[in-house]
Amino acid sequence: MIKLNVNGTVHTLDIDNDIPLLWVLREQLGLTGTKYSCGIGNCGSCTVHINGEAVRACVIPVSSLDSSKQIVTIEALSEDNRHPLQQAWKKLDVPQCGYCQSGMLMSAAALLNKIPRPSDEDIDANITNICRCGTFNRVRQGIHLAADINKRGRT
């Protein structure tokens, strides 16, 4: 048995200890916004937050977690879909196919929590997610716009 605190709810799960968090989120909890791609920690499609830090859920065994760790997935990035990043992503049409974008958003959200007005260099250093559609320039623009929205105050 393991207890996981996901999006503010504690779940008690009867699962193998070595299962990666990604599969617990997707298959046990039905939180399919977190995506599987490389499965080896390289691409960032599976990014979630643990205690506010962006982590790659495909390489986090649930045995390393307990209910004291606050796990947040894309489904809980905002209650109203009005997070500054979500507003910026819509305004700039950031996604193409969209597959990598929940991971991008979670990485970007963790960055903005750490550095509210990131430079291009900060973005390049922190957003190491891979996008096969090549949306990197729009991701960067979206993060700058979200930082502006944050500064003006959410609408």
Helix, strand and coil content of the chain, in percent to the nearest 5, comes to 40, 15, 45
| Shortest reach from residue 1's CB to ligand FES, in Å | 25
* For ligand FES, the closer CB: 19 or 38: 38
Spatial neighbors of 61 by CB under 8 A, at least 6 apart, are: 17, 18, 19, 20, 21
* For ligand FES, the closer CB: 2 or 41: 41
Which two tokens mark 67?
Answer: 């209910």
| Shortest reach from residue 155's CB to ligand FES, in Å | 25
| Shortest reach from residue 40's CB to ligand FES, in Å | 7
| Site residues (vs ligand FES, CB under 6 A) | 36-39, 41-46, 56, 58, 95-101, 131-133, 135
* For ligand FES, the closer CB: 48 or 147: 48
How many whole angstroms separate alpha carbon 26 and alpha carbon 89?
24
